[in-house]
């Protein structure tokens, strides 16, 4: 065998040795890769307690009331005010003139209504009475002359006088009655005019009252938009009646709708929160609520659902229903605008046997649990009640104190032989797997000899 042939045989032998070593290593790895799984469990006790079902959402803390006010200035941001406290004033001169004019117009309207209801004045009534008395006296005199007539000619003449006197009396009576007659149309018109005059006086009085702005309720001034000397105009859409009246009372302005100030009721804070339509049907006024504020770590607050909208709010194609949550007690650290997480307790049962919901298996509508009795596990059929957030009520099949087996996950474990293989693999990989290749090289030498024999 020449040198080139020996070299090729030697390379071939080394290659076979390496491949053989790799095969053994793979075999070791493959045998160690087989493993078994086992379910990890722990025991939990069936306990008597409360099972609660909740709906959770995130909302924003805000004052229960927020009123916009419009006028001049006597308060600053941060001031705490009481109900009725003067916050601002404006020049009342124009409002006073307007009130006086409205009052005069009301008096004139009242006089016209009185005249329409009683057309005859006192002097006209006296004149009518005098005219009637005079006509009656003339008739009486004519009757007297007729009675004293001595002959038919005088009697005829006296009768003519009587007829004339009677006609005159009837005419006077008709004239007086006509003057005293009440015209219903005139009365109605006069009454309508008086009603309008009364409203004008009321508006003018409100405008005058609005020149002195008072706090409608106790609270804290959060924003003041005007300073002394600035003009305030109408057109405001403020929440209080005094605010809108002050605009008309000022008589002039820029037409701005900006409010004078914002008054917050910081003693009565609420949480405004939107619930998705899937949960909104479970929310009702009066339900208890657990509240946590992100910035108040560790504090668990309580409250109540005070109201929930009947009309939905759609934001980015998501339908929600806003609810107002009232705090049972508001900590001083709670500020408007803070983020609040609320959990509304929609259903709850006290003093019931309950186990973690994860311990219950349900198949075909039948619920079962695994109970450990005297060290042995047995499957027991149970009847469930209220399903809470983490626990479920057991109405039949378990007693308080029963030990229930609950799965907590699946873990992997290797057999002893696999462990041994793994040890072999580790040793081979660590000590030098290709050393086996050297041993294999002996076989390779034999193979070379064989090759030489073949050569």
Highest mean pLDDT among 128-132, 294-298, 312-316: 312-316
**Taking Cα atoms as reference points, which of 354, 433, 338, 430 lies closest to residue 391?**
354
Among the ranges given (110-119, 132-141, 250-259, 425-434), the one the predictor scored with the smallest mean pLDDT: 425-434
The whole-angstrom separation of Cα 105 and Cα 46 is 84
**Taking Cα atoms as reference points, which of 101, 105, 107, 116 lies closest to residue 190?**
116
Highest mean pLDDT among 67-76, 113-122, 159-168, 370-379: 370-379
Instruction: Tell me the pLDDT tens digit for each residue of 320-344.
Output: 999 999 888 888 888 888 888 898 9
Residue 435 confidence (pLDDT) above 60: no
Q: Tell me the two tokens of residue 397.
A: 């099949």
Mean pLDDT, the chain, rounded, equals: 73
**Taking Cα atoms as reference points, which of 202, 224, 199, 201 lies closest to residue 213?**
224
Interior angle at CA 286, CA 284 and CA 289, nearest 5? 90
The whole-angstrom separation of Cα 137 and Cα 115 is 31
**Taking Cα atoms as reference points, which of 315, 316, 312 lies closest to residue 281?**
312
State in Å, rounded, how far the first CA of the chain is from the last one.
7
Tell me the pairing of strands 366-373 and 80-81: unpaired
State the burial class of residue 143 (Cβ atoms within 10 Å of its Cβ: 0-12, 13-18, 19+): middle
The whole-angstrom separation of Cα 183 and Cα 181 is 7
Instruction: Tell me the pLDDT tens digit for each residue of 356-374.
Output: 999 999 998 899 999 999 9
Predicted TM-score (pTM) of the model is 0.44
**Taking Cα atoms as reference points, which of 274, 280, 243 lies closest to residue 258?**
243
Buried b / exposed e across 359-375, counting CB within 10 Å, b at 16+?
Answer: bbeeeeeebebbbeeee
Tell me the pairing of strands 313-315 and 261-264: unpaired
pLDDT at 159: 83
* Cα diameter, the chain: 203
Distances in Å between the Cα of 23 and the Cα atoms of 29, 183, 206, 377 are: 10, 127, 103, 46
Average pLDDT, stretch 74-79?
A: 65
Beta strands (DSSP E) in 295-338 are 300-308, 313-315, 318-327
Residue 81 confidence (pLDDT) above 50: yes
As a residue count, the chain comes to 455
Give the DSSP letter of residue 239: S
Residue 426 burial (CB count, 10 A): 12
CB 270 within 8 A of CB 324: yes
Q: How confident is the model at residue 77 (pLDDT cuts 50, 70, 90)?
A: low
Give the DSSP letter of residue 198: H
pLDDT at 228: 64
Highest mean pLDDT among 15-24, 241-250, 289-298: 289-298
For the chain, the C-alpha Rg in angstroms (whole number) is 53
**Taking Cα atoms as reference points, which of 298, 352, 344, 351 lies closest to residue 325?**
344
Distances in Å between the Cα of 280 and the Cα atoms of 43, 386, 388, 427 are: 37, 19, 18, 64
**Taking Cα atoms as reference points, which of 21, 24, 28 lies closest to residue 438?**
21
All residues at 6 or more sequence positions from 139 whose CB lies less than 8 Å from its CB, including other chains: 162, 165, 166, 168, 169
Nearest 10 degrees: CA dihedral of 245, 246, 249, 253?
-120
pLDDT at 4: 44
Backbone angles phi, psi at 59, to 5 degrees: -135, -165
Residue 125 burial (CB count, 10 A): 15
């Amino acid at each position: 065998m020449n040198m080139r042939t020996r070299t090729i045989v030697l390379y071939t032998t080394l290659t076979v040795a390496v491949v053989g070593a790799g095969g053994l290593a793979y075999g070791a790895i493959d045998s160690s890769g087989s493993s078994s799984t086992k379910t990890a469990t722990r025991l939990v006790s069936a306990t008597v307690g409360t099972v609660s079902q909740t709906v959770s959402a995130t909302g924003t803390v805000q004052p229960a009331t927020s009123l916009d006010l419009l006028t001049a200035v006597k308060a600053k941001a941060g001031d705490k005010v009481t109900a009725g406290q003067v916050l601002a004033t404006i020049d009342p001169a124009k409002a006073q003139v307007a009130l006086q004019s409205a009052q005069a117009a009301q008096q004139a309207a009242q006089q016209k209504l009185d005249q329409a209801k009683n057309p005859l004045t006192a002097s006209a009534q006296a004149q009518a009475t005098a005219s009637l008395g005079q006509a009656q006296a003339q008739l009486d005199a004519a009757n007297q002359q007729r009675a004293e007539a001595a002959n038919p000619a005088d009697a005829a003449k006296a009768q003519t006088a009587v007829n004339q006197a009677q006609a005159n009396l009837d005419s006077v009576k008709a004239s007086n009655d006509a003057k005293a007659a009440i015209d219903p149309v005139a009365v109605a018109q006069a009454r309508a005019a008086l009603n309008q005059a009364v409203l004008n006086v009321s508006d003018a009085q409100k405008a005058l009252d609005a020149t002195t702005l008072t706090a409608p309720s106790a609270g804290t001034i959060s924003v003041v938009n005007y300073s002394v000397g600035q003009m305030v105009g109408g057109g405001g859409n403020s929440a209080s009646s005094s605010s809108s009246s002050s605009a008309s009372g000022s008589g002039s302005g820029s037409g701005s709708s900006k409010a004078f100030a914002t008054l917050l009721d910081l003693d009565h804070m609420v949480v405004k929160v939107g619930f998705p339509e899937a949960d909104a049907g479970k929310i009702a006024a009066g339900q208890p609520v657990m509240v946590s504020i992100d910035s108040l770590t560790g504090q668990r607050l309580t409250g109540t659902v005070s109201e929930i909208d009947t009309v939905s709010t759609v934001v980015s194609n998501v339908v929600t229903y806003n609810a107002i949550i009232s705090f049972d007690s508001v900590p001083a650290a709670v500020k408007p605008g803070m983020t609040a997480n609320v959990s509304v307790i929609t259903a709850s049962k006290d003093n019931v046997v309950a186990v973690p919901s994860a311990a219950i298996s349900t198949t075909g509508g039948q619920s079962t649990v695994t109970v450990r009795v005297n060290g042995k596990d047995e499957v027991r059929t149970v009847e469930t009640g209220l399903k809470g957030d983490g626990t479920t009520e057991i109405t039949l099949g378990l007693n308080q104190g029963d030990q229930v087996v609950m799965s907590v996950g699946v873990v992997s474990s290797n057999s002893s032989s696999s462990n041994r293989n793994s040890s072999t693999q580790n040793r081979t990989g660590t000590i030098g797997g290709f050393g086996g290749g050297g041993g294999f090289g002996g076989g390779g030498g034999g193979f070379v000899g064989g090759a030489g024999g073949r050569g």
